Amino acid sequence: MNKSGMNTVYFLGIGGIGMSALARYYHSRGWIVAGYDRTSSPLTKQLEDEGMSIHYEDDPRLLPDLIDKVIYTPAVPKDLNEIAEIKRRGLPMMKRAEALGAISKEHFTIAVAGTHGKTTTTAMVAHILKESGIDMTAFIGGIANNFGSNLHLGTTDKAILVVEADEFDRSFLYLDPDISIVNSIDADHLDIYGDRQHLVDSFNEFARLTKQCVIVKEGLEIDVRNKITFGLDKSCDYRADQLGIEMPIPGKHNLLNATAAYIAALEIGISPKNIINALASFKGVKRRFDIRIRTNNYIYIDDYAHHPEEIKSCLSAIKTSFPSKRVTVVFQPHLFTRTRDFMEDFAKSLAMADSLILLDIYPAREKPIEGITSQVLLDKVQIEDKCLCSKAELMANLEQRRPELLVTMGAGDIDRFVEPIEKMISQW
């Protein structure tokens, strides 16, 4: 505790979407919040505007003198000078997932898991609860357009907690869910799990933590007694095409996400009428099938897709919604290991595009892997109109092409191009 009598929490990797929501939560509870991130971003600038102290150099001298708790993300390098100083001082450190788990133990918790779809589904559940007048706090892995934030704060200690349950680094096993959703278990994070079976085992471990019910998409290998299934098959407990759900956002995957959210809302006593009314006003999540421009001449969509199945879902929804348009995709692969593990699947999914502009692999926490490059991936994509492009040349490339329907995809720093691209297209 510092001289002002307030506790100080220090975040390593404060600019991450999950970390920033947690930082906002602590700040709302009266903690002094400070943190480090490698680079400045619109999100870190917002946190600074909200009163948090952030720096961007790995410099132990910039650490606050008094720190009560350190929260870190596994995405930060373990050899940071600041981590060495924190350990030298003997400061208590906890993972983001541990901090979130401690919060979940204090609330009735709805946790949303899945290798993809979880951010949109979390935002849907939170939106339904808010529109239905239920006090809730939500931690969302993206900026929910209905809230304009990745965090919605409840007004009482009895607020229901809606939280995105992240399978990366087995983080979701720290949570204490009353209701959980599992809407996909596609092989991913194999650098951590080794193979898909270990990933499935981890999802089952998460499901067994759930006290009331586990809402599971049809066909997923979740083996618990308190399971409720949903999907399009007549054997499901809830069929997505029979609930009367209508939303402004397209795609079969979003209908399934909404069905999971619908069941969770039913389970806490919200009426079907209120659920359907709320979903009709759901505005989606930034970078999830995010239609930035839609005019007679040009359409621009941005999406976080960074797994072959996500690319497939996004491009399927685009082709259904805009069947006559020629689709140009700009894709930035995320992680060398993911590109290696799913090289053939990426090539098949990206071949759904009419034209492909491929950026270099975004390394994030990883070192390069020999023989794993964007060129190798590009060679495997079976379409004629394809090219490699550097980030420095991307804007000029797009200016020259002027595609009628453009999609930017990826989980790296491709999001930095969204606003410049949007501005450029609006001037065509």
Helices (H), 161-307: 190-193, 196-208, 252-267, 272-280
Alpha carbon distance 149, 122 (integer Å): 13
What percent of the chain is predicted at pLDDT more than 70? 98
pLDDT at 1: 53
- In this predicted structure, the answer to whether residue 31 has a pLDDT above a threshold of 70 is yes
Amino acid, res. 139: F
Positions of CATH 3.40.50.720 in the chain: 8-91
Fold of the 290-426 domain: Protein-Tyrosine Phosphatase; Chain A (3.90.190)
- In this predicted structure, the answer to whether residue 4 has a pLDDT above a threshold of 60 is no
Stated length of the chain? 428
Window from 69-73, 74-78, 203-207, 359-363 with minimum mean pLDDT: 74-78
- In this predicted structure, the answer to whether residue 105 has a pLDDT above a threshold of 70 is yes
Q: At 102, is the secondary structure helix, strand, or coil?
A: helix
Alpha carbon distance 96, 315 (integer Å): 33
Would you give the DSSP letter of residue 285?
A: B
The pLDDT-based confidence of 76 (bands split at 50, 70, 90) is: confident
What percent of the chain is predicted at pLDDT more than 90? 85
Alpha carbon distance 22, 26 (integer Å): 6
Nearest residue to 203 via CA among 90, 118, 76, 83: 118
Residue identified by tokens 């949303």 is: 112
Positions of CATH 3.90.190.20 in the chain: 290-426
Positions of CATH 3.40.1190.10 in the chain: 99-280
Nearest-10 crossing angle of helices 42-49, 17-28: 10
pLDDT at 5: 55
CA distances from 11 to 123, 181, 355, 411 (A): 24, 28, 41, 21
CATH of the domain spanning 8-91 = 3.40.50.720
The pLDDT-based confidence of 234 (bands split at 50, 70, 90) is: very high
Fold of the 99-280 domain: UDP-N-acetylmuramoyl-L-alanine:D-glutamate ligase (3.40.1190)
Share the mean pLDDT of the chain: 93
CB 292 within 8 A of CB 286: no
How deeply is 314 buried, as exposed, middle or buried, from its count of CB atoms within 10 A (0-12, 13-18, 19+)? buried
For the chain, the straight-line distance linking the first and the last C-alpha, in angstroms and rounded, comes to: 56
How deeply is 69 buried, as exposed, middle or buried, from its count of CB atoms within 10 A (0-12, 13-18, 19+)? middle
